[in-house]
Structure 1
Amino acid sequence: MPFDGSAEDPERASSIEKLLEAPLPWIGLYVAAASLACAAAMAADTLHGLWRKKHWFPSRYFSINATSLTLLAVSMKLPVDLSTRMYSVTDRLAKISSLIFMSTAMANILTSLGSMTDQDVLMNVTALGILVITVVVNVAIQVIQMHAYLGNRLGFHEELLGTLSMLFLLLMFVSTAVMIPSMKRYLETKYHEMHRSALIEDEIDLRKVITVDKLRVLVKKYWVMAETSNPQFVIARSVTCTTSGMLSLMICLVLAEVEIRMAMGFGLLQHSFSSYGWSTKFVLIAQTAGVIVGTIAPASRWLVAVKYSSLNQGRRSFGNAVSVEDYWTQKMVEWRQSSLSFQIRHFKSRKLIHDLRALFLKSCISVQRLVILASKLVLLISICFTSPVISCVDYFTRLRRQNRVAHSASSRDPEVSEKVDPELDLSHYVMLLEGEVELPAETLENICKEIDQVIHKGKLKRPNNLLKLLSKSCSFKGVGEFDSSQVPPLHSQDLPYCWSLPVVTLACIALALPNVEKSKLDCLLRSVTEGLRLVKLVDKTMDKKGGLANIRTAADVVWVKVELYHKWQDEDLRNVSVKGKNAAEILQELFYKAEKTVLEFQRNARDCLMKNPLNWPANVIASNAMYRMSRTVLLNHGGCENEETDDALFDKLSFMIADILAACLTNLAHVITVKCHHSAIEVREKSVRKAAMLLGETEEILALLQQRQVPILAPRKATDIEEWRAFVKQEKIDKQSSVTRPN
C-alpha cells in the first residue's frame, strides 16, 4: 500500500525523511566546492593585479557571466533553504558567511561590466538582480516566520547586515550599468580625437617606411590611451566602485567579528545539528577564505581612490567634488526624451503611457543622483579620516623610491631597460571622464613601464633565422619573378596571390631539390616558418574584406604538412629528391602532378560556385600555384643537371623567397599601427599589447628594411602582392628600355 503521509505510520515517515536528508551533507560539500571555485578565481584576479602592478585589479578570471552566476547560486544554497533547521553555531555562521561571501563576490565582479556590450550588461545585471532578490526574499521569509524567536537567533544582526549589503551592492551595480553606455560613447569620441592627434604629432605616413623610434612612441601613446580608457579601469575609478570596496571591507570585518565572538562564546566548528552535518564546516571554511581573499581587490580600489582624491583635493572645490556629472544620468535622460518603441494608435493612451514612463524615469534619475551623491560623500568622509595617514605613507614611499632609483641607476641593465625620452610627455594622452581627478605620476609611470616590458619581452622572441634569410635580399625583384606570364593558365580566370602562398610554394620546391646540404634545407625550413607567422599576420590584417581567405587557407594547409611531415599534397619531399634525379626532373614531376590535380578537379566539378577559382578547395588552389611556379622555375633555370647547379638553384630560390618576405614585411609598421587603433573599446588594450609585442619581435627587421629603398606605393597598393608584382615588372621594363634606347 502506498504511503499517504498520515500519522498512523510515524516510523515509516521518519525513515523516509532520513532517506531524503541523507544526501544533504554531499550537497553541502558541493556548495563548499562552488565557493572554493569562486574564491580561487578571485584570488587569481588579485594575484594578476599585484603581478601587473594594476592596483585597480581588473576582473580577468572572475567576471559576471553564466558560469560565475551559476557558481554563486550554488554557493547560496544555505541562505535560501527554508525547510532545514540550522540553529547551531556552525550552521548560523555558515549562513552568515554565505551572505557576506555573496556581497564580496559582487564587489569583485563590478568592474567586469566594462568589458561587456550593452546587451550583455543588461542580461547579466538582470540575472544577478534575480539571484540577489531571491536570496533576500528567502532570508526575509525566515525572519518573518521566526520573528518570535529573534532574541535567541545567533548572529541575527550580522545576518541582517549581510543581507542589506547585498541590496546596496545591487544598487551600485544598477547605477554603474546605467552609466556604462554614456561613458563608452564619451571615451570613444575622446579617443578618436586623440588618435588623429597622435598620427599628426608623430607625422605618421603609411605610404612610407616608419622608423622604429616613431613606432615605439606611437605604441606608447596608444597604450596610455587604451589603458586609461579601459572600461574596467574607468569603472574601478568610479565612486560606485570605491563605495563598493569600502562596503566590502566593512562586511569582511563584520564576518571576522561574529566569528571571533562566536568562537570565544561557544566554540567554533564544534557542533552542527542540521541535516547538512559535517559539510557546513567545509562551507564555512571555504566561504570565509573567499571573503578574506576577495576583500583585497575591492578594498585596494577604495584605498587607491581615497589616495588619489586626497592628493588632488586641494585643487577642487567642495561643490565640484560632490556634483553629479551628466554621464551618470545621460542614458536615462535620453530614454525619457525619446519616443515610445512601440506604436499605440489611441492618442490618449499613447500620451498616458509616455507620461507614466517619463515620471518613472524621472524618479530613477533622482535615485541615481542620490546614489552618486551619497557615494561621493562617502569618499569625502573616507578622505577626511585617512588623509593624514595617506600623506605620511606617500611621503615615505617617495623617499624610498628616490633612494631605490639612485641606488639602481648605476647597475641598471641596458638590455632590459628602455631608453627614456625626457621630452616625451604622455600625460595629455590620459583618458579621463568629466570630473575625474588626474591620475598620479606613479600610475602613469607604471603604465609606461608595463608597455616597455611587453616590448622587451617581444625582443626576446625575435626571429633570428628569418633575419638571416632577409639579409640575403638586396632588392625586391623576386616579387616579379616567381610567376611568369609565359606559363599557360589552367583556367580562364587567373587566381590572385596572397603573400604567403608564393613563399610556401617556392619553399616546397627548394626543399625538394637534390644534392643540397641538409643543414641548408633545415635552415630554410626554420626561416620560412618564422617568416610565415608574420606574413600571415600581414595577410589577415590587410585583407579586411576576406576576399583572399581561401588563398590564405591553402597556404596554411600546405605549410602544416611541409613543416610537420615534409610532405606536399601527400608527396614526401625527401623521397622526391632521391639520388639519380636532377632538379629539372623534380620540377617536371612537381608541375605534372599539380597540373593533373587541377585538371581532374575541373573535369569533375559540377557546382556552379567552382567556376570561380577563388572558391576552389585548398589543395586545388595550392596545386595551381605549384603548377605555375614550378614551371616558371623550370623555364628560367631548366637544364640543371649537376650538384653545383642544384645548389645554385636552391640559393636563387632562397633569394626569391627573401625578396617576397622583405616586400611583405614592409607592411609591418602599417600592421602595428592598425593593431594599435582598434575600434572596439572592450578589446583595445589587448590589441595594443599585441602590437607592442610585435614591435619588440620585429624591431631588427624594421631597422633592416629602413636601410632599403622601398617603392612608394599608395597604402592600399603597398599591401597587395599583385600591385608589387606589377610595379616590379614595370620597373624592369623601364630599365630595359632605358638600356636599349639610343643616345
Structure 2
Amino acid sequence: MGKLGCNVDGNLDDTKFSQPMPWIGIYVAAASLAFLFSMAVDAIHGIRQRKFWFPSKFSSLNATSLTLLAVAIKLSVDLNTAMPRRQDQLAKLSSAVFICTVMGNSMPSLGTMENRELFMNIMALAILVITVIVNICIQLGTGVIFVFWKEHAFIMFIMLVLLLLLSFSALTVPNTKQYLEYKYNKKYQLALKEGSNESDKPLVDKLREDLMKHWMMAHTGSPQFVMGRSVTCTASGAFCLLSAATLAEAMIRSYFMPWSFKFCSGESDYKWSACLVLVTQTIAVAVGTIGPACRWFSAISFRCTNTSWNQTCKNEFKVEKYWIQSLLELKECPLTLLRIRNRHCRKLAHDAKDRFLNLCITVQIGIVLMSKAIRLISIYFVSWILSCCNCCKRIKKFTVEKVSNTESVSGSQHSSKVDLSGFVLHLEGEEALVGRMMKCHCDPTVYWFRMGENNRPKYLIKLLERSTRGFKGVGEFDSNQIPSLDFEEPPNCWALPVATLTSIALALPSISPKSVKELVSGVNEGLMYVRLVENKLHAREDLINTKRAAEVVWVQVELYHKWFDVDLHKLSLQGKSPKETLQELSDAAKNRLAEFVKNPTSQCLKQLSSKWPVDALAANSMYRISQTMLRNKHGANDQTGEKLYEAVVVMISDILGACLANMERFICMKALSSAIEEREENVRHAVRILGKTESILNLQEQRGVPCLDPCQMACIDEWRSFYMQKPSPFSLSPSETETSSSESNDLYLTIE
C-alpha cells in the first residue's frame, strides 16, 4: 500500500485534487449572490426613497465586502485550472467585470468612513485589484485565458482607472466633511433665528417648517450624496457602464457569432459550477450597474438642461480647490523623522516627500480634468436624446399639470411657501445645485409626513383625550404618605407606573373586554413614544434597571395578562371588590419585596436602589401605587370597579400625556444631535414621528403643562415634586374651573 497522497508506484496521486472544484464554484457563486442581493436592496431602497443617486447603504466598501469580493473573483486569480469551454472563458471575464461593478457601485460609501477606516479599505482594495491584474496578465501569457484578450485588457484598464478614482476621491472626504459641518452650523444658526421670529405660528406648522430646513441641510450635506454627485463618481458610472457593455458584447459575440472564436474541447475542473458562476455574476453586474448608471445620467441630464454648451465647456476645465486641499496641507506639514539625525538625509526625505505630493497633486488634477472631460463628452451625445424627451414632455404638458394639481395636498402647498434655498449646503463649483433643488421642488418631508399621518396611533390618541388639564394624575398615582420599607426609594421612570397602573386596571372586576383591549392597545402605542423620550431626553444610568423592569412588566401584561405570578384576568373574574383586588395585588408585591429584603445577598443593594433587580423594582412600584389607591378616600360611598377603572385610565392618560409633552423637544433633538453621516436618516425619522403625533401635539397645547425647564420636563419625579409643592399650578377661568372639576372628580379613589 502506498503512502498517503501517493499511488502504489510511489508517484503523486493527483486524481482526487480536482474533485472539490465544483463545490468551490458554488462557494464563488454564493459570494457573488450575496453581492447581488446587497446591490439589489440598495437599488430598491434608492427607488423607494426617491434617491436616484442611489446611496450605498448595504453594498458599502468594508472588511466584509472586501472579503466576499476576494471569494467572488476566485476564477480571475486561478492561474492553473484549465478553462476550455465558452462558459469557462466568459466566467473569467465576468469575474473581472464584477470587480469594476462593485467598485463603481460602492463609491458613495467612501463619504461615511472615518479617516483610518478609509485608508485601510482603500489599501486593501488596491492590493486586491493589483493582484487580480497581475494574475490576469499571467493567464494571458500562459494561455489559460486564450480568448477575449482585448476585452480583458480593456477591463484591466477600467479597473486601474476606477481604483485611481476611488483613491483620489477618498482624499477629499475629510476636508469636505469639515467644510460641510462648518456650513451646517452656520445654516443651523440661521434656522434658529428664523424660528424665533415665527413664535406666533401653530406648533405643528412651526415644527414642519423647521424639519424642512433641517432636511435640506442634512440631505445636501450628506457625505454619501456629496460623493455621489461628485464628478469622479459620475465618471465611475460611465466606466461601469463601459465594463458592463464589454461583458455584454463578449457574450453576444460568443453566442451569436461562434465562428469568430475557437474554443477547446474538454471540461473544466469546475464543471457545471462555472455556468452557475457566470449566470450569477452576469445578473449581479446588470443589477449593480443601475446605481452608477443613474448617477451618471442624473449628472448629465442636469448639465444638459441647466447650462448652455458654451457655459458647460467653460466650467469643465476648472479644478476646485477642495480636490487638492488635503494634499496641499500634507505638503505644508513638516516631515518629523526623529531617527534621522543627519541633516542631509532629512533634507533628502523632505525633498522626496514634496516631489511625491507634487506628483499626487498632478495626478489628482489630471483625474478631475479627465472626469470632467468624460462628463463633457457624455453631455454631447446624451443631449440629443434629452432634447427628444423634452419635446415629448411639452406635448404632455397640460396632462401633467392636471395630474399634479389633483395630487397636490395641503402639506405640499404649505411647503411651497417655505424658501429653502438658503439651507442648501454645497461645495465650490456646485452653486447650480441650489437652483436644481428648488426647481425640482421634490420635498420628501411631505411624503414622510403623510406616511406618519397614515400610521397614527389611534388608540393612544383616544386614550390621551381622557387626560386632565395639566396632567394632574402625575402627582396622584404615588402618594408620599406611603410608609417606607427601611430603604431608599428608587428613582422612577415614565414607563413603569404606566405598566403597573395598566396591570391594576386589568385586574379590576366588571370591566368589558373591549375596554381592556383598547386600553392595552393604547398603552402599547404610548410606550413606544415613552421609550423614545426616555432614551433621548432622560438617559440616566440610575434608570437602566427601572426601565428594564417596565419592559419586563409590560411584556407579561400585554402578552399573558399577568403581573409576574398573578393572573390578572383570573383575578378580575373572582368577583372580589375593588378594595380586595387592590389589597391582593399589594400583598403580592409586598411579599416579593420582603423576599428581596430578607435575602442576604441583597443587603448591599438596599441603600443603592437604582441597582435593584427588576422584580424588586416592579414590586415596589405595585406596592406603592396600590397602597396609594387604598388610602385615597374622598367620599363615603363604595366605589365600583367601573368608576375605579375610569379613574385609573385617566391617571394612565395623564402620565402618558405628561411624558409626551416632551415630544416637541424630542423631535427637535432627533433632527439636530447626530453625526453628519446619520443626520439625514434622523431627520426622516423625526418627520415621520411628527406626522404620527400631530394630533397628540395639538392636544398637548390644549391641556397645558406646568412651568418646568426642559430637563425637568423629561423627568417624572420632577413633575411629582412640582405638584407636591404647588397643588394648584394653573389659574383657570370660571368655565375652565367647572370643566376641570368635573374631570378631576373621576380621579378621586374611594374604596370602602
Q: Same fold (TM over 0.5)?
A: yes
CA distance in 2, matches of 1:618, 1:339: 58
Is the deviation greater in 558-567 or in 58-67? 58-67
CA distance in 1, matches of 2:459, 2:636: 28
Is the deviation greater in 166-175 or in 498-507? 498-507
Displacement, 1:244? 0.6
Displacement, 1:562? 0.8
Alignment CA distance shift 1:655-1:396 (3 Å): same
Report the counterpart of residue 671 of structure 2 in structure 1: 676
Deviations for 1:276-298, whole angstroms, at most 9, x for unmatched residues?
23332332232222222322221
CA distance in 2, matches of 1:562, 1:640: 32
Report the counterpart of residue 46 of structure 2 in structure 1: 49
Displacement, 1:506? 1.7
Displacement, 1:168? 1.0
Residues 324-339 of structure 1: pairs in structure 2 closer than 5 A: 324-338=319-333
Given candidates 532, 537, 542, the residue that maps to 2:537 is: 542
Residues 574-723 of structure 1: pairs in structure 2 closer than 5 A: 574-603=569-598, 604-605=600-601, 608=604, 611-637=607-633, 644-723=639-718
Is the deviation greater in 131-140 or in 329-338? 329-338
- AA of the residue aligned to 1:682: E
- AA of the residue aligned to 1:338: C
CA distance in 1, matches of 2:706, 2:342: 68
Alignment CA distance shift 1:351-1:503 (3 Å): farther
Residue 533 in structure 1 maps to residue 528 in structure 2 = yes
Residue 438 in structure 1 maps to residue 432 in structure 2 = yes
CA distance in 2, matches of 1:721, 1:499: 6
Is the deviation greater in 162-171 or in 486-495? 486-495
Secondary structure of the residue that 1:431 maps to in structure 2? coil
Cα pair 2:98 2:285 within 8 Å, conserved: yes
Report the counterpart of residue 212 of structure 1 in structure 2: 204
Cα pair 1:583 1:641 within 8 Å, conserved: no
Report the counterpart of residue 741 of structure 1 in structure 2: none
CA distance in 2, matches of 1:563, 1:361: 65
Cα pair 2:31 2:72 within 8 Å, conserved: yes
CA distance in 2, matches of 1:467, 1:507: 17
CA distance in 2, matches of 1:288, 1:566: 54
Cα pair 1:210 1:669 within 8 Å, conserved: no
Deviations for 1:228-263, whole angstroms, at most 9, x for unmatched residues?
222221111011111111111112222222222233
Report the counterpart of residue 374 of structure 1 in structure 2: 370
Alignment CA distance shift 1:260-1:468 (3 Å): closer
Alignment CA distance shift 1:336-1:608 (3 Å): farther
- AA of the residue aligned to 1:159: H
Given candidates 156, 160, 168, the residue that maps to 2:153 is: 160
Cα pair 2:82 2:268 within 8 Å, conserved: yes
CA distance in 2, matches of 1:105, 1:138: 19
CA distance in 2, matches of 1:632, 1:7: 89
Displacement, 1:600? 3.1
Residue 281 in structure 1 maps to residue 275 in structure 2 = yes
Report the counterpart of residue 467 of structure 1 in structure 2: 461
Cα pair 1:637 1:649 within 8 Å, conserved: no
Cα pair 1:482 1:632 within 8 Å, conserved: yes
CA distance in 2, matches of 1:413, 1:317: 35
Q: How many residues align?
A: 726
Residue 191 in structure 1 maps to residue 177 in structure 2 = no
- AA of the residue aligned to 1:548: L
Displacement, 1:624? 1.5
CA distance in 2, matches of 1:734, 1:685: 40
CA distance in 1, matches of 2:397, 2:673: 35
Is the deviation greater in 160-169 or in 631-640? 631-640
Displacement, 1:701? 0.8
Deviations for 1:83-136, whole angstroms, at most 9, x for unmatched residues?
112244333222122111211121111112223333332232222222111111
Displacement, 1:404? 1.6
Residue 235 in structure 1 maps to residue 227 in structure 2 = yes
Is the deviation greater in 268-277 or in 686-695? 268-277
Greater RCO structure (CA 8 Å; 6+ sep): 1
CA distance in 2, matches of 1:272, 1:692: 62
Secondary structure of the residue that 2:418 maps to in structure 1? coil
- AA of the residue aligned to 2:268: S
Report the counterpart of residue 405 of structure 1 in structure 2: 401
Cα pair 1:32 1:287 within 8 Å, conserved: yes
Is the deviation greater in 481-490 or in 516-525? 516-525
Displacement, 1:182? 1.2
CA distance in 2, matches of 1:550, 1:50: 42
Residue 551 in structure 1 maps to residue 546 in structure 2 = yes
Alignment CA distance shift 1:156-1:257 (3 Å): same
Report the counterpart of residue 23 of structure 2 in structure 1: 26
- AA of the residue aligned to 2:694: E
Deviations for 1:504-529, whole angstroms, at most 9, x for unmatched residues?
22222222222333332222222211
Cα pair 1:514 1:583 within 8 Å, conserved: yes
Given candidates 281, 285, 290, the residue that maps to 1:291 is: 285
Cα pair 2:36 2:287 within 8 Å, conserved: yes
Report the counterpart of residue 99 of structure 1 in structure 2: 96
Deviations for 1:413-432, whole angstroms, at most 9, x for unmatched residues?
859x7543442122322221
CA distance in 2, matches of 1:413, 1:205: 25
Alignment CA distance shift 1:74-1:641 (3 Å): farther
Cα pair 2:2 2:8 within 8 Å, conserved: no
Report the counterpart of residue 254 of structure 1 in structure 2: 246
CA distance in 1, matches of 2:32, 2:655: 56
Cα pair 2:25 2:270 within 8 Å, conserved: yes
Counting aligned pairs with the same residue, the percent is: 42
CA distance in 2, matches of 1:463, 1:67: 39
- AA of the residue aligned to 1:493: E
Deviations for 1:532-568, whole angstroms, at most 9, x for unmatched residues?
1111211111024444222211111111111111111
Residue 180 in structure 1 maps to residue 173 in structure 2 = yes
Cα pair 2:42 2:58 within 8 Å, conserved: yes
CA distance in 1, matches of 2:439, 2:666: 27
Report the counterpart of residue 740 of structure 1 in structure 2: none
Cα pair 1:308 1:437 within 8 Å, conserved: no
CA distance in 1, matches of 2:47, 2:435: 18
Residue 143 in structure 1 maps to residue 140 in structure 2 = yes
CA distance in 1, matches of 2:201, 2:266: 73
Deviations for 1:576-597, whole angstroms, at most 9, x for unmatched residues?
3343422222222222332333
Secondary structure of the residue that 2:326 maps to in structure 1? helix
- AA of the residue aligned to 1:93: L
CA distance in 2, matches of 1:581, 1:4: 82
Displacement, 1:399? 5.3
Alignment CA distance shift 1:312-1:628 (3 Å): same
Alignment CA distance shift 1:579-1:200 (3 Å): same
Displacement, 1:671? 0.8
CA distance in 1, matches of 2:671, 2:164: 36
CA distance in 2, matches of 1:491, 1:361: 72
CA distance in 2, matches of 1:449, 1:393: 24
Displacement, 1:169? 0.8
Given candidates 109, 126, 129, the residue that maps to 2:126 is: 129
Cα pair 2:706 2:729 within 8 Å, conserved: no
Given candidates 299, 306, 327, the residue that maps to 2:300 is: 306
Is the deviation greater in 137-146 or in 174-183? 137-146
Report the counterpart of residue 728 of structure 1 in structure 2: 723
Alignment CA distance shift 1:427-1:627 (3 Å): same
